[in-house]
Structure 1
Amino acid sequence: MNAIKTIAARAYKSGATAIFVLVSVAGCSALPEPPVRPVLYDFGPASLPATAPAKALPALALATLDNAGQPDGSTAVHYRLAYADARELRPYQQARWSQPPIQLMRQRLQAHLGQQRAVIGTLGAQASVRVDGQPPALLRVELEEFSQVFDSPERSVGLVRLRATLTRPGSLGESLLAQRLFEAQAPAPSPDATGGTRALAQGADQVAAALAQWLEASGY
């Protein structure tokens, strides 16, 4: 009889231990997973000419960029599925720009334009800077498109499109000097956010370089 009681007690202890282990494992699995932080991207180092420019160009005022292609202040990396519905702008969930694209684009423009001229903010230009006794020409830029565009599930490009308007401030307002639309499409090396951000950075460099060449060729 005592032997039977001993066996029963051991069985009870083993069962209780097993239940405790199961409860502990269940409790651990119920703990919330730590949130996954989005990967942050920027444009990387600018691709600038290795040699110094032959001559310095007149100072230029660069206005704050306007944004028509994305929600204001958004740092999301956007893409479009052109083969499904090109009108829908979709954000990657785990990828972000380190700053809103218009700020990154302004920095890239300043880097390229600053190779041959002084680039200043509009407030500084209006307050004190003069070129031949006049305020410097004012460059306004509107970023119209900045997204990764897929024409198939495996193939995409980084599409950058901006409109540049050059004016001359005067006592009666601004006079239009020139205006042009710039666009670059750089192939993405991979069909994901990593490939898309790389292609968009390359497209931003191409557009910034083309804009700088256009201003110089136009005499400004």
Structure 2
Amino acid sequence: MRTTVNHTMNQTFRRLMLAAALGTAALLAGCSSTSKNLGNSTYDFGAAPVAAPAQAAAPMGVLVVTDVTGVAALDSERMFYRLAYADPLRARSYSNSRWANTPLSMVTQRIKSRLSQSGVKVLATTDASVGMPILRMEIDDFTHTFDSASQSYGQLVLRASLFHGHKLVDQRVFNQKTSAATLDAAGGARALADSTDAAAAGMIAWLATLQLPKQ
């Protein structure tokens, strides 16, 4: 008898947890009856913060920066989030919110901007001449992730590779997590922007440790 009661209680608990997770997903996706009146919101990274004095020294004189690459989902304006505590294998998108540009383009532009702030002369591949160092980057993750129903963060996982004379000089993975102030698309956008800035700052510090001739 006790086994049957415990089994019934466990089933009820699982149903309640699933209902809570699905309720959170519906709220995030803007599927409530009032969400249709909210309209669509568009987000970008905002203005790049001014570089701190400690970051003023350029890690190198000239650097060719290629466009950031990543999975096809990041080559659209959709904003993705993940309920890691309930359905970790499913990436969902906000129905009433989008990026102003693709994450690939926004991360590319932000990192170029931060490198320029540090004093680097940033060039595109079409402007490069032979012998210049080349920075290539690839995004492995760019998601607003919920680790519980009341806590979330923006995560950027970026792999950067520096080449010089067709040889790999070094490679570094930047895994940045920033807590979101609010449990919605706006909070996720701000957290992902902050994670991108943190990755850029780490990249500048990393490049400064590499010995390359000035161009």
Instruction: Report the TM-score, using the length of structure 1 for normalisation.
Output: 0.74
Q: Distance in 2 between matches of 1:54 and 1:204?
A: 20
Give the equivalent residue in structure 2 for 1:121. 124
SS at match of 2:89: strand
Q: Distance in 1 between matches of 2:74 and 2:158?
A: 16
Cα RMSD (Å): 1.9
Q: Is the 8 A contact 2:68 2:138 kept in 1?
A: yes
Q: Distance in 2 between matches of 1:55 and 1:190?
A: 35
Pairing 1:9-28 to 2, within 5 Å after superposition: none
The answer for the alignment partner of 1:53 in structure 2 is 56
Count residues with an aligned counterpart. 175
Match of 2:134 among 121, 135, 138: 138
| Cα separation, partners in 2 of 1:54 and 1:109, compared to 1, 3 Å | closer
Give the match for residue 147 of structure 1: 143
Secondary structure in 2 aligned to 1:136? coil
Deviation at 1:111, TM superposition (A): 1.1
Residue aligning to 1:205: 197
Aligned 1:1-220 pairs, distance under 5 A: 37-49=39-51, 51=53, 53-54=56-57, 57-68=60-71, 71-114=73-116, 115-125=118-128, 129=129, 134-169=130-165, 174-220=166-212
By how many angstroms is 1:72 displaced? 4.9
Contact 2:60/2:207 (CA < 8 Å) preserved in 1? Answer: no
Structure 2 counterpart of 1:5: none
Matched residue SS, 2:64: strand
Unaligned runs of 5+ in 2: 1-35
Structure 1 gap segments, 5+ residues each:
1-33
SS in 1 for 2:98: strand
How far apart are the structure 2 equivalents of 1:56 and 1:215? 6
Summarize the Cα distance change of 1:209–1:187 in structure 2 as closer, same or farther, 3 Å threshold: same
| Deviation at residue 217 of structure 1 after TM alignment | 1.5
Cα pair distance change 1:55/1:65, threshold 3 Å: closer
Q: CA deviation at 1:37?
A: 4.1
Q: Secondary structure at the match of 2:193?
A: helix
Larger radius of gyration: 1
**Structure 1 position 49, deviation (Å):** 1.8
Give the residue type in structure 2 aligned to 1:143: I
Q: What is the CA-CA distance between 1:150 and the residue it aligns to?
A: 0.3
In the alignment, the residues of structure 1 paired with residue 39 and residue 70 of structure 2 have an alpha-carbon distance, to the nearest angstrom, of: 26
Q: Secondary structure at the match of 2:49?
A: coil
Q: CA deviation at 1:36?
A: 6.2
Distance 1:36 1:191, change over 3 A: closer
Give the deviation of 1:58 after TM superposition.
2.0
Which secondary structure does the structure 1 equivalent of 2:56 belong to?
A: coil
Normalising by structure 2, we get a TM-score of 0.76
